[in-house]
């Protein structure tokens, strides 16, 4: 619902080779329930090589395009957009997102209902993964009634699952079956990825584990494939969707290849999976999206104050940015949003999450999670953020923990090589690089630290109260 006093809102998105996502994003923004004349849409292009700029200029002439001569990352790209933003409020949205009609108005509503609280600095939306997900249940049962005994590895209760892939005919032009398989989630009953002596990766599945399969085309049946084995022999594995047993087969220590057809009539069982309902931080200053990779059962369906917000979708008051500054461009990408919200909290600003503003996020559409660059910026930027924003003991504790864990991981890696074990460990060269870079990065960020800490209006105990165990 529009009002006469609707303020001008600037929307900024940063693009780098994201052409396949832009049509969906801008079409969804065009369909917002907010007055078009009160929206300034800015796309900052980080020197893309996929004709993104030409495409947007031809297809969406109402979008202001800022073409940069080099890739300045999420932080630098957004800062260029913020400099050109004219609105009282500025909304940031990732280029691989689609927003619902009331995405903008619901975030604005929180500012309007603040009851005179002028220190609300930012409001974020509920961010869901782009596709609906079909829960596929894995039920293992040993024919001999066996299981893990006292002192045995608890993972023996389940099975090993290798190479899960999915085939489903996508209509959007965004997805191929290859990258659709990369969107598979393991929300319940699966352990983290491990690798065997041959370098093959797998996951242990507990009995009654849930695998979440993305559905790109609801009008087409899908197929999943994987390999499986079991230490409990004989053993059997049932694949269940919506209470219906699709397949049951025997398992042993020998790896078995499995192919399962899932008819589209079962897609009524699909549910959304949460990407972010705000950001939380723990005592080691690792950040995590609230609800990440959990099915959305309505557990985050109330407005609440949070430590920070996902950089993929939030609205900020211009006054907050004028007070605490923009993103730290030296971060390039990752943890730059947590750094901004930590600085804003030190300055006395508050951040809120609202579930009625909804965004769907393709997630890592233009990047690869846990690639070398991803790992490098995550490891480096977390330590820089702690140095800039935290109290001295917090930084020294985390710095020495990083050094110690790096030494242990490097020794473990070398020991594995001596045993002939193949390991995919991009973190090893990253740890070595970050260790040496910190010798000049810490002095280079000293002035930023002094400025941030000097302008602090709250005690560190307030920050500590936001630190959660996870």
**Phi, psi (5° rounding) for residue 140?**
-100, 140
**Residues 20 and 35 occupy one common structural domain:** yes
Taking the C-alpha atoms of residue 425 and residue 428, their distance in angstroms, rounded to an integer, is 6
Q: Could you say which of 338, 361, 384 is where a domain stops?
A: 361
Residue 366 falls inside a structural domain: no
**Residues 151 and 51 occupy one common structural domain:** no
pTM to 2 decimal places: 0.92
Burial 241-276 (b: 16+ CB within 10 A, else e): bbeeebeeeebeeeeeebeeebeeebbebbebbbbb
Instruction: Say whether pLDDT at 206 is over 90.
Output: no
* Class of residue 153 by CB neighbours under 10 A (exposed 0-12, middle 13-18, buried 19+): exposed
Residue 143 falls inside a structural domain: yes
Taking the C-alpha atoms of residue 20 and residue 350, their distance in angstroms, rounded to an integer, is 35
**Residues 408 and 455 occupy one common structural domain:** yes
**Residues 197 and 157 occupy one common structural domain:** yes
What confidence score (pLDDT) does residue 177 get?
62
What confidence score (pLDDT) does residue 150 get?
43
Q: Report yes or no: 201 and 194 within 8 Å, Cβ to Cβ.
A: yes
The DSSP bridge partners found for residue 99 are 359
Burial 338-371 (b: 16+ CB within 10 A, else e): bbbbbbbbbbbbbbbbbbbbbbbbbbebbeeeee
Residue whose token pair is 């009002």: 3
Contacts of 386 (CB under 8 A, 6+ apart): 285, 394, 395, 398
What confidence score (pLDDT) does residue 369 get?
66
**Residues 137 and 264 occupy one common structural domain:** yes
Query: Strands 244-251 and 89-93, how do they pair?
Result: unpaired
**Residues 22 and 96 occupy one common structural domain:** yes
Instruction: Say whether pLDDT at 424 is over 90.
Output: no
**Residues 406 and 326 occupy one common structural domain:** no
Residue 4 falls inside a structural domain: no
Q: CATH no. for residue 312?
A: 3.90.550.10
Residue whose token pair is 């630098």: 76
Q: Could you say which of 269, 289, 309 is where a domain stops?
A: 269
**Residues 260 and 313 occupy one common structural domain:** no
Residue 3 falls inside a structural domain: no
Region 340-349: mean pLDDT is 97
**Residues 314 and 376 occupy one common structural domain:** no
Instruction: Say whether pLDDT at 144 is over 60.
Output: no
Residue 217 falls inside a structural domain: yes
**Residues 389 and 302 occupy one common structural domain:** no
Percent of the chain whose pLDDT exceeds 70: 92
More confident residue, 338 or 369: 338
Taking the C-alpha atoms of residue 311 and residue 370, their distance in angstroms, rounded to an integer, is 18
What confidence score (pLDDT) does residue 363 get?
79
What confidence score (pLDDT) does residue 176 get?
61
**CA dist 276 → 74, 125, 326 (Å):** 18, 8, 22
Q: Could you say which of 269, 304, 322 is where a domain stops?
A: 269
Residue 101 falls inside a structural domain: yes
Q: Which range of residues forms the domain containing residue 250?
A: 133-269
pLDDT class of 143 with cuts at 50, 70, 90: very low
**CA dist 441 → 190, 330, 367 (Å):** 38, 10, 25
pLDDT class of 145 with cuts at 50, 70, 90: very low
Total domains in the chain come to: 3
**Residues 332 and 390 occupy one common structural domain:** no
More confident residue, 151 or 461: 461
Residue 227 falls inside a structural domain: yes
Taking the C-alpha atoms of residue 356 and residue 353, their distance in angstroms, rounded to an integer, is 9
**Residues 317 and 250 occupy one common structural domain:** no
Tokens of 379: 């490891």
């Amino acid at each position: 619902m529009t009002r006469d006093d609707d303020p001008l809102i600037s929307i900024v998105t940063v693009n780098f080779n994201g052409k396949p996502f832009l049509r969906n994003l801008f079409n969804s923004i065009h369909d917002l329930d907010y007055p078009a004349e009160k929206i300034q849409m800015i796309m900052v292009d980080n020197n893309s090589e996929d004709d993104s700029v030409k495409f947007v200029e031809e297809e969406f002439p109402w979008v202001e395009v800022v073409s940069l001569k080099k890739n300045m990352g999420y932080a630098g790209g957004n800062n260029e957009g913020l400099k050109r933003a004219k609105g009282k409020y500025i909304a940031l949205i990732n280029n691989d997102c689609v927003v619902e009609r009331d995405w903008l108005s619901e975030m604005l509503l929180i500012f309007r209902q603040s009851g005179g609280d002028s220190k609300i600095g930012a409001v974020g939306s509920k961010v869901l993964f782009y596709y609906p997900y079909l829960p596929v249940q894995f039920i293992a049962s040993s024919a001999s009634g066996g299981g893990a005994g006292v002192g045995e590895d608890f993972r023996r209760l389940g099975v090993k699952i290798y190479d899960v892939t999915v085939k489903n005919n996508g209509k959007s032009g965004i997805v191929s079956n290859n990258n659709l398989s990369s969107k598979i989630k393991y929300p319940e009953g699966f352990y983290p990825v491990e690798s065997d002596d041959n370098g093959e990766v797998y996951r242990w599945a507990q009995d009654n584990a849930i695998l979440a399969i993305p559905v790109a085309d609801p009008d087409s049946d899908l197929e999943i494939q994987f390999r499986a084995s079991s230490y409990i022999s004989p053993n059997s594995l049932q694949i269940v969707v919506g209470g219906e047993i699709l397949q049951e087969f025997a398992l042993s220590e020998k790896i078995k290849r499995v192919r399962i057809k899932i008819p589209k009539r079962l897609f009524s069982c699909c549910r959304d999976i949460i990407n972010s309902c705000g950001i939380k931080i723990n005592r080691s200053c690792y950040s995590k999206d609230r609800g990440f990779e959990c099915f959305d059962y309505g557990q985050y369906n109330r407005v609440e104050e949070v430590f920070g917000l996902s950089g993929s979708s939030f609205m900020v008051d211009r006054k907050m940015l004028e007070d605490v500054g923009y993103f730290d461009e030296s971060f390039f990408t990752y943890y730059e949003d947590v750094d901004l919200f930590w600085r804003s909290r030190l300055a006395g600003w508050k951040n809120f999450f609202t579930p009625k503003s909804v965004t769907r996020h393709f997630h890592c559409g233009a990047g690869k999670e846990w690639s070398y660059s991803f790992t490098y910026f995550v490891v480096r930027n977390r330590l820089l953020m702690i140095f800039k924003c935290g109290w001295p003991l917090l930084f020294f504790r985390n710095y020495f923990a990083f050094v110690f864990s790096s030494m242990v991981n490097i020794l473990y890696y070398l020991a594995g090589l001596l045993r002939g074990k193949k390991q995919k460990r991009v973190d090893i060269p990253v740890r070595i690089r970050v260790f040496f870079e910190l010798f000049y990065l810490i002095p280079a960020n000293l002035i930023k630290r002094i400025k941030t800490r000097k302008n602090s209006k709250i005690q560190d105990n307030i920050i500590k109260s936001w630190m959660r165990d996870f």
